[in-house]
Structures are given as C-alpha cells and as structure tokens.
Chain A
Amino acid sequence: MLEVTGLSADYGSFRALFEVSLGVEAGETVAVIGPNGAGKTTLMRVISGLLPPHSGTLAFEGRSLAGLEAHRIVEAGIAHVPENRRLFPRLTVEENLRMGAYMSSARARFVERRGWVYALFPRLEERRNQLAGTLSGGEQQMCAIARALMSEPRLLLLDEPSAGLAPLVVQQVFDLVRRIREEGFTVLIVEQNVRQVLELVDRAYLLEAGRIALGGTADELKRSDTVRRSYLGL
C-alpha cells in the first residue's frame, strides 16, 4: 500500500534520512523503531507531506505522493497523528474532531463518523465539550488518534503515541491501537517503546542514524541480537 524507496530528507541544514526504503501492505501494522534522533519523526513528516523529501520515491496505492502538499495527502487517505499529540488546545474535543473531518468527503459523514469514533473512545464522548488543552495526557492521545480517524484514512501514521505517558496509560493506548488494527486499518507506528510495540505489530524496521539497519517480522526483530542488546536491555 505504501512504498518508500531510497528516501533522503533534510532536517534544517543536515541530512536526517539516507536512502530509506520500506513498505506497508494493506491491513498490516508496521513499526519503525530506533533511538532518539534516528529520523523516525522526520520519516513520518515526509510521508504526510509536512516536510519535502530531498530524493527518493513515495507511493501510496500506486500513486506517487511526490510534491503533494500535506492537505492533499490527507485527501489521498493518509492521516498522521503527530508527535506530542498537537491538539488545538483552545478548541473543544468535539471541535478538534471537526477539524479532523474538515475534508469535504469526511464532513458530509461527520455525524456518522463521530458516532463510530465515540463508540471506540467512550471517555472522549464524556468530555466532548471540554477544551482539549485541559485533558490528561492519555485522553489527549486518544483525542489525537480519534481526530485522525475522522478523515476515514486508509493508512494511519502514529508518531510515538506512548511518549510522555504513564505506564498504565501506555497500555491503554496500545490496546487502542490493537482495536484499530482489528477494525481493519493499516497502521505505521513509530515508537521508542520497543518491547510493547513489537508485541503489537506484524513487521518492524530498525532505523538508526537515518538508515534502515534491520527489517523483518516482529518475531525476527525480537530475536535479533542488535535489538535485544540495544533496545530490550537483554
């Protein structure tokens, strides 16, 4: 579904990604793991159109995403839940969801969509008129994911959903991702919490210093020495 080939990108004046290649099939859940500063967030931003790539190709469902602006990529069916949630703090939960459904196709089915999302996230419905900036960390993460789902994406990009959250909440977030997965969504997730995310996904890539160091099924990565030593503390 998503094919990234030889992607290079800059972050400011230095190169953050070197000829990265990866792929995500429809229905899969794939993780990109790696240390801080490896370029994981940069990768997400290039895919969603927030950052222009330097070279390489990016194709979604056969269509090239080259040169498309972020709002067009959303229209193409990719939704990005950014690092640090990035909710609109002075809009209510429901208004944030509205923003997620801004696209005309999503707008038309807003009520239906909203119902589905609230069924998935009952806590959000309770807080629908609360300002998003006043939500707890976990609730904000749920709201951010819910907002992305409002545009009926076919590919969901999750950037470090567990960042800054308490362990119990992290568990809830991952359970949520599991449920989304069960609903049939294709998910590309970037995570530092290696142990938990490898339990969740089908396949994974290891990104180190801007390059793909390893790629394979979740089991393969769990068994790999590199991953065990550096990221699982074994």
Chain B
Amino acid sequence: MDIFLLEAVLNGVMFGGLLALLALGLNLIFGVIDVVWICYAELVMCGMYTIYWLHAVYGVPFPLAAVAAILLVALLGVLLHRIIIEPILGSAPINQLLATGGLLFFLQSFATLLFTTDFRNVGIHLPSLELGDINLGYARILAFAVALVGAAALYLFLARTYLGTAIRAISQDREIMGLMGVDQRRIYLITSAIGGGLAGLAACLLVLQYDVHPFVGLSFGPITFMICVLGGLGNMIGGVIAAFIMAQIIAIGGYELSVEYSEVLAFLVFIVLIMVRPQGILGK
C-alpha cells in the first residue's frame, strides 16, 4: 500500500477518535434531554479560548488550564440548560434547537468582540513520531488516547454508577423517574454539565493541533452533527462508529482529492446515506 495513503488512514483513525468524543457529548445531551445543542462547537471554542488565555497569555501550566477549561465549559453547559432550555422544554424541539442557534450567534460574536477575528495559537508544538516514512504528530496521538480514555470513563460512569444508570433510564421512561426518587431536573442539569465537560475535554485536545478563532466552531460543528445523525441521533455507539467512518472519508478524500473537496465529499456521503437509512446506522 502507498505509504502516504497509510499515513492518511492512520491520521484518519486518530481524527476519528476526536470526532467520536465530540459526538459522544452531543449524543448524550440529545439522548437524555432530547435537545440538539446547535452551538456545541461554540462551547468547545469557549474552552479553547480559555486555555489560550490562561496558558498562552497568563502562563498557567497547561494541565491546570485544561482542567479549568473543562470545568468552565461544564458550567456553561449547565447555564445553557438552565437559562435557555428549561423555559422552553415543553415547546417543540425545533424551538430548542433554534434557541441554541441564538447562542451560537452570541458566542461567535462575543468572542469576536473580546478577541477579534485573529487566529490564536496556544504555542504548544508537540513533535512527531516517525515510523519509517510515516509522520504521526504526538498531538494527534495524544488526542486519540485521551479521547479513548474519556469514552471509556463515560461508559463506566453510565454503566456502573447510580447516577449513570439514572441518566440511561431517563431516556427510556422519563415520566416515572420521579417514582424512583429521582429529581428529573437535577439529572438534566448534571447531564448538561457532563456534555459541557466533554466539550471542554475536546477543546483541550483540539487546541494542541489547531488555532483558535471565533469561527473555529464552523470547522468541526456541522461535521459533528452529521456524525451524530448518521449514527442515529442519541445513539452513542452509533456516533462513535459514524465518527470513524466520516474521519476516514475526510482523511482519504483529503489525500486523493484535496482537503476542501474531501469535506464536500463527506457531506455528500452523509446526505446520500441519510436518504437511504434516515434513522442512521444504529438508529431505532
């Protein structure tokens, strides 16, 4: 096999891990609360700016900045739910999607106001692992590893803890959660925090590889939604599978065509696949 194609495939696998992490957060929110946070990528952007500001501007050590970012975006998730979603939880789901659309505008523009549209780099440049002629950036490898660990942690949390079980249960039968002694509202807030936290974690990984700017969300936001829908909205395993598929399309497409056409291809594939199987790969 062409060695550079192999490199593309490997990069695709690692990119897939990162996309899978993003998809997990979105799917968690959708599966549990039944809302689409269309501004999810913008939450990630907030995390990226937090790390930039703390680490590159104020010299806070990266690990600390990372933790701060995760906590901050988790808090943003809670606020998003409390302030924007809760008041309109009863109305049509599309309204909730649109309201988060408002937040998308707001976050992008607020970031522009604060930081201007300049591209900013956190200034951490990790070297590459060289395997023969193949170069794999350590940043990529790290992102992949952390994403896997994050996914595993989420799985264990959902499968083994009371709270995790309650979160799984609420999407299966919302109404009787109260009869279990579970405060539905609290579960939603905790889930929002976890969804935000996952976005924050993704931000930590992205910031090692890409510059941050107010519209960086547009680079991976729409792709993440496509992945979630492709895997079956709300289905976490489906999202992970779809993430790796999409990542491969983009990686190989980027190698054979061009980076930009590869994304066009990815979206076209999405549209075709959704026509063929609208509920997604693992959707019900």
Give A contacts to B, CB under 8 Å.
48-50, 69-71, 73-75, 79-80, 82, 86, 88-91, 95, 98-100, 102-103, 106-107, 147-148, 151
Contact = CB atoms under 8 A, between A and B. Distances in A.
Contact of B180 (A49, A69, A89, A100): A100
Interface string B154-197: 00000000100110110011011111111110000000000000
A49 B94 CA distance: 30
A89 B176 contact: no
B173 A86 contact: yes
A151 B169 CA distance: 17
Interface residues of B, number: 17
Contacts of B181: 71, 74-75, 102-103, 106, 151
Contacts of B165: 91, 95, 98-99
Contact of A99 (B166, B175, B183, B184): B166
B173 A88 contact: yes
Interface of B: 162, 165-166, 168-169, 172-173, 175-184
A69 B180 CA distance: 12
Contacts of A79: 179
A147 B172 CA distance: 16
A2 to B, nearest CB: 16
Nearest to A150: B180
B162 A48 contact: no
A96 to B, nearest CB: 8
B178 A99 contact: no
B172 A82 contact: no
A50 B179 contact: yes
Contacts of A106: 181
Nearest to B185: A69
A14 B180 CA distance: 28
B179 A69 contact: no
Contacts of A71: 177-178, 180-184
B172 A89 contact: yes
A150 to B, nearest CB: 9
Contacts of A48: 178-179
A74 B178 contact: yes
**Residue among B176, B179, B181 with most chain A CB within 10 A:** B179
A147 B180 CA distance: 9
B62 to A, nearest CB: 38
A102 B170 CA distance: 13
A70 B179 contact: yes
A90 B236 CA distance: 14
Interchain residue pairs A-B with the least CB separation, the first 5? A70-B178, A74-B181, A103-B181, A88-B172, A88-B169
6 contacts: A48-B178, A50-B175, A79-B179, A98-B165, A102-B162, A102-B181
A19 B83 CA distance: 39
A102 B180 contact: yes
Contacts of A107: 162
B162 A50 contact: no
Contacts of A86: 173, 175-176
Contacts of B182: 71, 99, 102
A88 B175 CA distance: 11
B124 to A, nearest CB: 42
**Residue among B180, B182, B183 with most chain A CB within 10 A:** B180
A151 B176 CA distance: 14
A86 B169 CA distance: 11
B168 A91 contact: yes
A49 B166 contact: no
B172 A99 contact: no
Contacts of A103: 181
A162 B49 CA distance: 59
**Residue among B169, B175, B182, B184 with most chain A CB within 10 A:** B169
A48 to B, nearest CB: 6
